[in-house]
Amino acid sequence: MTTGFIKAIISNLLIVEANGPFRQNEICYILDGNKKLMAEVIKADRNKAYIQAFESTRMLKYGTPVEFSGHMLEATLGPGLLSGNYDGLLHNLSAMQTNFIQKGDYPPALDFNKQWNFTPLVREGVRLQAGDWLGEVMENSIIHKIMVPFTLSGFWEVSRIAEGGDYKISDTIAELTDTNGRTVEVTMVQRWPVKKPVTAFLEKFRPGQLMETGIRIIDTMNPILQGGTGFIPGPFGSGKTVLQQSIARQAEADIVIIAACGERANEVVDLFTEFPELDDPWTGRKLIERTIIIANTSNMPVAAREASVYTAMTLGEYYRAMGLKVLLLADSTSRWAQALREMSNRLEELPGQDAFPVDLPSIISNFYARTGLVRLNNGKTGAITFIGTVSPAGGNLKEPVTESTRKATRCFYGLSQQRADSKRYPAIDPIDSYSKYLEYPEYLESMKDKTGENWFEKINELKNILLKGKEAYEQISILGDDGVSIDFHTAYWHAEVVDYVFLQQDAFDEIDARTPMERQKYMVDHLLETLHTPVKFYGFDEVQPFYKKIIDRYKQMNYEAFMSPAFVSYSEEIKKLLASPAAIS
Amino acid sequence: MEPITLFKKKYTRLEKITKATCVVEADNVGYEELAYVAGRPAQVVKIMGNEVTLQVFSGTEGLGTNAEVIFTGRPPVLKVGDDLSGRFLNAYGNPIDYGPEIEGEIREIGGPSVNPVKRKQPSEFIPTGIAGIDLNNTLVTGQKIPFFADPDQPFNEVMSLVALRAKADKIILGGMGLLNDDYLYFRRIFENAGALHRIVCFINTTDDPPVERLLIPDMALTAAEYFAADKGEKVLVLLTDMTLYSDALSIVSNKMDQIPSKDSMPGSLYSDLARIYEKAVQLDNGGSITIIAVTTLSGGDITHAIPDNTGYITEGQLFLRRNTDIGKVIIDPFRSLSRLKNLVIGKKTRSDHAQVMNAAVRLYADAMNARSKQENGFDLTDYDMRTLQYARDYARQILAIDVNIGPDEMLNQTWSLFGKYFSKEEVSIKAEFTDRYWPIKDQ
Ligand SMILES: Nc1ncnc2c1ncn2[C@@H]1O[C@H](COP(=O)(O)OP(=O)(O)OP(=O)(O)O)[C@@H](O)[C@H]1O
Ligand SMILES: [Mg+2]
């Protein structure tokens, strides 16, 4: 084993003189008294290893010994990860004893004493490769597949498989033999280096199925698909976290992995506190059962923040290989980029734009490339849908992290300061935001059952109404209320109706927070019918009061259960308003 | 924090001296260790073999190459104990009030962070009487929130008002680059309120070296952690002015030849500020640390790196602005935000709170549109006129910082403004609430 000692300390960057070979990205341990502090090699220069410490370097000294571990940063994968709270390096936060996080306290993610009821899925003699299913256990309500370790290459024959029964994760449940007669014992745990993509699948293919979130401006106007990618940039306080947490609660996913990356600890506490209480709208079970939280809050060491997104992605890949639909959320990917910037600056690398490392765009695109929809070797499919938030400095969308992320993703949910200021939540800009999936014929085809034939035309019409409203508003602002014809006022108020009734959604109201697709379709049809109804106004000052009434009734409708008596009666009131004397065709 | 000479290594040759740092060849020195260079406190900021770079807090002016360097064997510390109550201390935790030395347990400042799973969700409403805060931007214990204000606004006054009304067990003031007059102002106001026994102040004034400011937040928060974690007390920490703190960070990073990022601030500004603000916490023993800070702006620009990074870290911000309509400073309802308000409004306050708050701000926004229409010379509709009248009353009765009313009263007053100027449809609040609270007009 290679060892060494500390030669230099600059914040969390250490230079270590090594007495033997070491690898880029190898994990090493700083022997600080009776504690072992984790660090990662990020640069090699002859016998000098530049390492980033995943801990505070306070009171470390010149000469402090260091041990190289021989492996890269790895995630320990196996049953028991669900419902857990981990730090960025996958240490179990719930197993730490003290209130304050102690340096070098690294409880493992998995419980090595717990028994799992294993059911074999293969017989001896079968030929398998990495990622193929050997058996399964029940983890909460998820069927957790025990797989051929991702690290094994080529084909392996099952030379022994355990009978059904209770096992610990470290018990051998299978023995595999390759064509050269080499044998490995397989347990229910495997390790994988987090910075490498897991490629144990047959192929990736294009997403085509909606991932319903219950958020109208997303599902209808800018849908994200199973296995798709999206990002949410927005200035501080514009609602990125609230939106992402709504998605986490409501999305149609088997597993939700939330990486709190360099953000507030209190926001993670919200998840810890609320998810054990809230129901998964898709299964009726508690949300926490399908959730994994990776918490590397802003006061935790910066290097571990960078690792946290890779850790989360690796967990996603692990569950995807079981044929599950995984939703991965990261808040905020800008903090990850900043962590890279801090290290790059300390390494005195040539800075790129805004002092970020020059290879930031490729780091981001390589990361996003790990998501997606895959066909497994057994023909089943699995997906990682990824939505990351971006926190642009000064709210300026031209900065490097936003620009690089835009290139790597298909959905853009830009939050607008102006909409947030006027409390038009979710503050997704309805004009600038997009989903490229609306151009996917697979998607449009798949929606026919749910939303009928001309769904796409309806979405376009809504978008046109919004655009026309915006133009009308600009004209009214220039020419004055009476400087334009009444049509401009109508166009403006039509857009306001769509905005208030459909785009805006109260994330804190039990009913309004989530609109299932069936209800979204109903509302789109209802709204379009209203807006198609010709209404005659004799003066521009009649337009606003009329549509304010309409908006009010619709908002009341949004607060009522779908098709409840109150819901229906507001709907009827709208019909009456449209037919009233003020509205002669 | 007196120099400790006992069993400590001494050196008497400086290899290099720059404006803020010096280099000494020394053995067995810890990173971030506290040292004294010719009696001046200094901290290890870089180790390169035997070459140790020290940041001298008070600056290196007049230092000789033969200055005596003594290492203390530990990072900067504070003595914590009940002795702290009522005391005024400097950036090193030494008394500046001519009182006795502090006795107590020695704690490292800037220590480890609370494990997020051991935190509790903040849930205690902090009433301040200022309706612009309590109604629209409700504060909660365990929250961290700054005032964003131009330098000429009365932020220290508002902050002390909030502190004294907040019913905290302890108030800890961290003053950075305070004008001496402001320091004396805080002293007087705490004295007059008879609150001295529950106050601890760490003060760096404009008379003190700027780099010393870097110690103030850690000192204040170490004291806060003692009272909150050890004693289970509700602690309110006031940090003013964090912009001057950040300026000190940029001075140091500049001297250390780091590549500056936006607005010549260090690339690590976000992490540096987060480390401080994230000390705000609600603990399960009932203790809590709430941080109210001040970030001064230049010309209201919140895209500058300091307010921008702050906004990304804190749980909202309280934006002070002069309202020319009523000639008073108000809590701006658009740019201000308390992100934790949802944890208490409608739960610790009346159930109509959220809807009333949102409707009132929406109508105020309509008034601002009407205002700009008016300024552009367009005719106003009847609705526009009513919003303008409403806006004036709303600013005076709710938003102004000199308002002092209870939580129910704020809601009642807002409802009566709704009734006075608008129809139910225009206000558009859930029927359940309008049925209950819509004022009956006296014709
Ligand atoms: N859909 C919504 N409905 C009601 N209020 C909302 C909504 N979205 C956001 N808000 C309000 O805005 C506040 C800020 O939202 P959030 O914390 O999500 O912002 P953010 O974009 O994540 O900010 P930061 O970048 O600083 O983390 C919330 O605390 C809440 O008061
Ligand atoms: Mg956020």
Measured between beta carbons, the chain A residues lying within 8 angstroms of B48 are 7-8
Mean pLDDT along residues B1-23: 77
Give the separation between CA A412 and CA B121, rounded to whole angstroms: 32
* B58 closest CA partner among B171, B203, B209: B209
In the three-class reduction of DSSP (H, G, I as helix; E, B as strand; rest coil), residue A133 is classed as strand
Tokens 């909460």 identify what position?
A: A140
- The residue type found at A106 is Y
* A420 CA to centre of ligand 1 in angstroms: 8
Query: Most A CBs within 10 Å: which of B43, B117, B418, as the mutation test of the A interface?
Result: B117
Q: Under a CB-based contact definition with an 8 Å cutoff, are residues B331 and B136 in contact? A: yes
Q: What is the pLDDT of residues A506-544, one digit of tens each?
A: 998 999 999 999 999 999 999 999 999 999 899 988 999
Chain B residue closest in CA terms to A393: B308
* B138 CA to centre of ligand 1 in angstroms: 14
Residue A218 has pLDDT above 50, yes or no: yes
Contacts of A163 (CB under 8 A, 6+ apart): A120
Confidence of residue A482 (pLDDT cuts 50, 70, 90): confident
Across all residues in chain B, what is the average pLDDT?
92
Strands (E), B157-248: 170-178, 199-205, 234-240
Indicate the Cα dihedral angle B333, B336, B342, B344, nearest 10°. Answer: -90
Measured between beta carbons, the chain B residues lying within 8 angstroms of A425 are none
Sheet containing A174-178, strands listed edge to edge, beginning at the edge strand earlier in sequence: A127-128, A156-161, A174-178, A183-186
- Element (DSSP H or E) covering residue A497: helix A486-497
Q: What pairing do the DSSP bridges indicate for beta strands A325-331 and A255-261? A: parallel
* A223 closest CA partner among A207, A238, A237: A207
Mean pLDDT along residues B151-173: 93
- Element (DSSP H or E) covering residue A576: helix A565-579
Mean pLDDT along residues A196-213: 96
Cis peptide before A541 (omega within 30 of 0): no
What is the percent of chain A where pLDDT is above 70? 99
The stretches of B229-352 forming alpha helices (DSSP H) are 242-255, 269-277, 305-313
Q: What pLDDT does B103 receive?
A: 92
Give the separation between CA A478 and CA A492, rounded to whole angstroms: 14
Residue A585 has pLDDT above 50, yes or no: no
C-beta of A391 in contact with ligand 1 (< 6 A): yes
Ligand 1 site-directed mutation target among B138, B145, B334, B339, most atoms within 8 Å of CB: B339
Rounded to the nearest 5°, which phi and psi values hold at B59? 95, 165
Q: How far is CA A439 from CA A122, A434, A442, A444, B165, in A?
A: 41, 11, 9, 8, 57
Residue B7 has pLDDT above 70, yes or no: no
B39 touching chain A per CB within 8 A: no
B347 touching chain A per CB within 8 A: no
Q: What is the pLDDT of residues A359-382, one digit of tens each?
A: 999 999 999 999 999 999 999 999
Residue A375 exposed, middle or buried by CB count within 10 Å (0-12, 13-18, 19+): middle
Q: What pLDDT does A29 receive?
A: 97
Measured between beta carbons, the chain B residues lying within 8 angstroms of A236 are 308, 311-312
Among B281, B337, B425, whose Cβ lies nearest the Cβ of A548? B425
- The residue type found at A176 is L
What is the percent of chain A where pLDDT is above 90? 90
Measured between beta carbons, the chain B residues lying within 8 angstroms of A537 are none
Q: What pLDDT does B305 receive?
A: 93
Contacts of A423 (CB under 8 A, 6+ apart): B358, B361, B362, B365
- The residue type found at A344 is S
- Give the count of beta carbons closer than 10 Å to the beta carbon of residue A20: 10
Give the separation between CA B83 and CA B194, rounded to whole angstroms: 18
Give the separation between CA A73 and CA A25, rounded to whole angstroms: 7
Confidence of residue B174 (pLDDT cuts 50, 70, 90): very high
* A236 CA to centre of ligand 1 in angstroms: 8
Longest Cα–Cα distance of chain A, Å, equals 91
Q: Under a CB-based contact definition with an 8 Å cutoff, are residues B81 and B231 in contact? A: no
What length is written for chain B?
443
Q: What pLDDT does A564 receive?
A: 97
Mean pLDDT along residues A271-297: 94
A274: closest CA of chain B, how far (Å): 10
Would you give the DSSP letter of residue B228?
I
- Give the count of beta carbons closer than 10 Å to the beta carbon of residue A262: 33
Q: What pLDDT does B9 receive?
A: 77
- Element (DSSP H or E) covering residue A396: none
Residue A583 has pLDDT above 70, yes or no: no
Q: What pLDDT does B428 receive?
A: 87
Q: What pLDDT does A144 receive?
A: 98
Q: What pairing do the DSSP bridges indicate for beta strands A255-261 and A74-77? A: unpaired
The domains found in chain B, sorted by start residue, are 9-71 (2.40.30.20), 77-339 (3.40.50.12240), 353-442 (no CATH)
Residue B19 has pLDDT above 90, yes or no: no
Q: What is the pLDDT of residues A41-57, one digit of tens each?
A: 999 999 999 999 999 99
Residue B442 has pLDDT above 70, yes or no: no
Q: What pLDDT does B441 receive?
A: 66
Tokens read off for B77? 């510390």
Q: What pLDDT does A250 receive?
A: 97
Q: What pLDDT does A360 receive?
A: 96
- Give the count of beta carbons closer than 10 Å to the beta carbon of residue A253: 26
Q: What is the pLDDT of residues A237-248, one digit of tens each?
A: 999 999 999 999
Residue A229 exposed, middle or buried by CB count within 10 Å (0-12, 13-18, 19+): buried
Mean pLDDT along residues B349-368: 94
Confidence of residue B286 (pLDDT cuts 50, 70, 90): very high
Rounded to the nearest 5°, which phi and psi values hold at A244? -65, -35
Q: What pairing do the DSSP bridges indicate for beta strands A48-53 and A13-18? A: antiparallel
**Centroid of chain to Cα A209:** 17
Tokens read off for A277? 């209480």
Confidence of residue A267 (pLDDT cuts 50, 70, 90): very high
What is the percent of chain B where pLDDT is above 90? 84
Across all residues in chain A, what is the average pLDDT?
95
Would you give the DSSP letter of residue B198?
G
- Element (DSSP H or E) covering residue A400: helix A400-408
What angle do helix axes A486-497 and A517-532 make, rounded to 10 degrees?
A: 170
Q: Note if the pTM is more than 0.90.
A: yes
The number of the ligand 1 atom at minimal distance from the alpha carbon of A506 is: 3
The domains found in chain A, sorted by start residue, are 3-71 (2.40.10.170), 108-189 (2.40.50.100), 203-342+372-436 (3.40.50.300), 455-583 (1.10.1140.10)
Residue B158 has pLDDT above 80, yes or no: yes
- Element (DSSP H or E) covering residue B263: none
Chain A residue closest in CA terms to B333: A421
Mean pLDDT along residues B331-351: 93
Ligand 1 site-directed mutation target among A218, A236, A241, A506, most atoms within 8 Å of CB: A241
Q: What is the pLDDT of residues B199-228, one digit of tens each?
A: 999 999 999 999 999 999 999 999 999 999
Q: What is the pLDDT of residues B23-45, one digit of tens each?
A: 999 999 999 999 999 999 999 99
- Give the count of beta carbons closer than 10 Å to the beta carbon of residue A501: 22
Tokens read off for A513? 């927070």
* A240 CA to centre of ligand 1 in angstroms: 6
Confidence of residue B62 (pLDDT cuts 50, 70, 90): very high
